[in-house]
A and B are shown apart, each in its own frame.
Chain A
């Protein structure tokens, strides 16, 4: 007679076989390099290598937090990421919902292909487009403004408008691509549910509220939590291309700083320390988000 424990074991055997290669991958390619994080606590130099470089404890962290400039950079990074999350998160979902309601397949497919395109342009190209639109002298928008209202606005050099452009271009570039996940989720909702609701006399709005939204809610929550983990990663390319000295008080972020000092300046220990700090913040956020999700029964783990 099978006990439930032995039955569980039998069920797990094939799962374990499947899981082992992946586990090896994670151990080897993710955890082993993590050992290199120790250089955040050492004074790494090429001559001594990772193992023999001298320990300096929390010195790098002290340097980071005592310097006004680095603190500003950290604050900028947090702000920009948070804004991006709050403002940008709903758009892909909205887009997927709207597309889902389109009945003419050719229209749906064409729009889908089009909105999905900007993801493939590198920021060098998108930056060029943004500048063409918003430049003070020759930007298309300013040319129109000049003609209609007789004045121009320096969009790129004032903080509020720059932030808007930064967020807007980010959304424009990624919304279509991120919408794919939601579209896949929407495609998996059983149409029988919609038919049944329509028969029961539910209007379009009620159908969306009671069927569509709950159907994707798991995916939405998952995406939200996962993006918490990468909240500190403000794309280097985007800032590098769109940023300029006039808005440097908000556009200098961790990734640009790390790039200049670390990869180009060879100060690996300092930049690893900063990276470690970034990760810790990410960890904190993702744990918090998961706890909140747990209250709603939609925790990730």
Chain B
């Protein structure tokens, strides 16, 4: 018995000793160079898409190059893209979060700032920064956005240039077949969608087409048409916008009751069904995102299934509230913070400068001229091989890649091969989207871009997150409940729920914020300048 015991103990001790060596810091191995370079750690988003022959997201040609050519020894900490908040929260709680934290979520970053986990860096920038400091001066919007109400700069960002993101596509061949024109108003949209659903536009004798979808992106674009975003400016005041909610709801309900949409949209959590209907030619109007190469492939699949299809990208039809555009990529994007506990802030700042430098951005996203990319007529790098496995994931390493220096377009757009008819057609659609959605005549309906809204104080935040989910559920339930639940009733119920949890405090807070800050904060009108 005793022998067994001793054996077990020794195995455990062995296990513990190997365990402690497992957490060693790879960046700690250095030669004599380390005296010149600072040491730091940086987060890197991990989507599981780095090809095996390239290495891992933490150890590949890009990370090696950064460590050789860059100003600091960087230890990369992988953060799973779709469970990032959980991982970050545990790392912060354990005191082992990386020095640079990348995140697109303004609420999450706001939380870190409130909990004093973000380092104020305005002095650091003023005194030691070069490239990034210049960026701030050239783009005052960036400075405005990264400065918190208390006057400190806590965040870092990049310059995108205003770009379209979500686009509304319509089957132009169906319009022709039914002798209809592109809908300009929401009433016309309804009529067109109805015709698509009931008049057999693909002439196959079967009643198998849908007019429009209520899933995912298409759904949010419908909301945009009604300016249904909260809070919203009316008569120079910031209000909740209940009547917009009501009208948008009534419209969707109409669509549902008339059988124009797929009745199972509630279970179509990320629009996968809508996408499938679109590519198999069963859907007439569809909302997709055009900033990624994926949607182009969706388009390609549609065309290969339906060679006679013609697709147009249209501006959002106007409603009684005006004509708007939705789902944009803001010209400036705030993507990260510096950890308040970073041991070598100067190294971190140098790293930020390094990533903000155009030549380095080019190297990480496009590689070397000649071997990996050539220059387009406009002078922007275009990858010779659009899906080059060396670069498909590097934007997760450098979130400071600023598309504005590359024509304010996604990298893949620059790399399109215009000999290929699909890619040529796609570029046309992209240009249509640019024209439709980037004009201040058809502005973004909110008071400011969603990501740029200030973070609510904690008590209000708890109220807000729970009740918003509840209201969303009430409204969606109303859409599917036919006569038993009218949209008027649903709005009344939603308003009651809002009041019951003290939603009026939130309304008051927004109004207050607007009155105090409307001249200094970054608002929608700034989207169309710099």
Contacts and interface: CB of A to CB of B under 8 A. Distances in A.
B264 interface: yes
Main secondary structure of the interface of A (DSSP, over half): helix
Contacts of B476: 244-246
Contacts of A227: none
Interface stretch (A190-198, A255-263, A282-290): A255-263
Given A21-B8, A69-B466, A264-B86, A245 B266 contact: yes
A157 B480 contact: yes
A245 B493 CA distance: 14
A252 B86 CA distance: 21
A201 interface: no
Contact of A138 (B5, B264, B462): B264
A112 interface: no
Given A69-B466, A245-B472, A245-B473, A263 B267 contact: no
Contacts of A135: 264, 267
Nearest to A260: B465
A265 B267 contact: no
A136 B472 contact: no
Nearest to A156: B267
Nearest to B466: A69
A267 B475 CA distance: 27
A206 B469 CA distance: 55
9 contacts: A68-B500, A69-B467, A137-B262, A138-B262, A156-B266, A157-B266, A245-B472, A248-B473, A260-B465
State the 8 A-B residue pairs at the shortest beta-carbon distance, nearest first: A245-B476, A245-B473, A248-B473, A47-B116, A244-B266, A135-B264, A46-B115, A136-B263
A5 B114 CA distance: 63
Given A156-B266, A244-B476, 11 more contacts: A17-B1, A47-B115, A68-B500, A135-B267, A154-B480, A157-B477, A244-B267, A245-B473, A245-B474, A261-B465, A264-B86
B107 interface: yes
Contact of A47 (B5, B107, B117, B266): B117
Nearest to A36: B93
Interface in A5-31: 14, 17, 21
B304 interface: no
A67 interface: yes
Given A17-B2, A260-B465, A131 B267 contact: yes
A138 B475 CA distance: 23
Contacts of B8: 21
A266 interface: yes
A270 B263 contact: no
A246 B481 contact: yes
B227 to A, nearest CB: 22
Interface in A140-155: 154
Given A245-B476, A246-B481, A266 B267 contact: no
B470 A264 contact: no
B89 interface: yes
A67 B263 contact: no
Contact of A246 (B116, B470, B477): B477
A264 B477 contact: no
Contact of A131 (B5, B264, B475): B264
B330 to A, nearest CB: 22
Interface residues of B, number: 39
Given A14-B1, A266-B111, A136 B264 contact: yes
Given A154-B263, A245-B477, A257-B466, A67 B501 contact: yes
Interface string B1-43: 1100100100000000000000000000000000000000000
B266 A69 contact: no
A137 B267 CA distance: 11
A279 interface: no
Interface of A: 14, 17, 21, 45-47, 49, 63, 67-70, 131, 135-139, 154, 156-157, 244-246, 248, 252, 257, 260-261, 263-268, 270
B61 interface: no
B108 interface: yes
Contacts of B262: 137-138
B198 interface: no
Interface string B338-360: 00000000000000000000000
Contacts of A49: 93
Interface in B85-133: 85-86, 89, 92-93, 107-108, 111-112, 114-117
A268 B89 CA distance: 10
Interface in B250-270: 262-264, 266-267
A261 B462 contact: yes
Contacts of B264: 131, 135-139, 156
Contact of A260 (B2, B467, B469, B501): B469
B263 A246 contact: no
Interface string B431-443: 0000000000000
A201 B465 CA distance: 68
B480 A246 contact: yes
Contact of A266 (B5, B89, B472): B89
Contacts of B1: 14, 17
A253 B5 CA distance: 46
Contacts of A266: 85, 89, 108, 111, 115
Nearest to A131: B267
Interface string B445-475: 0000000000000000110011101101111
A268 B462 CA distance: 12
A265 B465 contact: yes
Nearest to A241: B269
Nearest to A45: B115
B504 to A, nearest CB: 16
A63 B502 CA distance: 13
Nearest to B112: A46
Contacts of A267: 462
Nearest to B472: A245
A23 B475 CA distance: 53
A131 B470 CA distance: 23
A137 B500 CA distance: 36
B2 A265 contact: no
B148 to A, nearest CB: 16
A186 B266 CA distance: 45
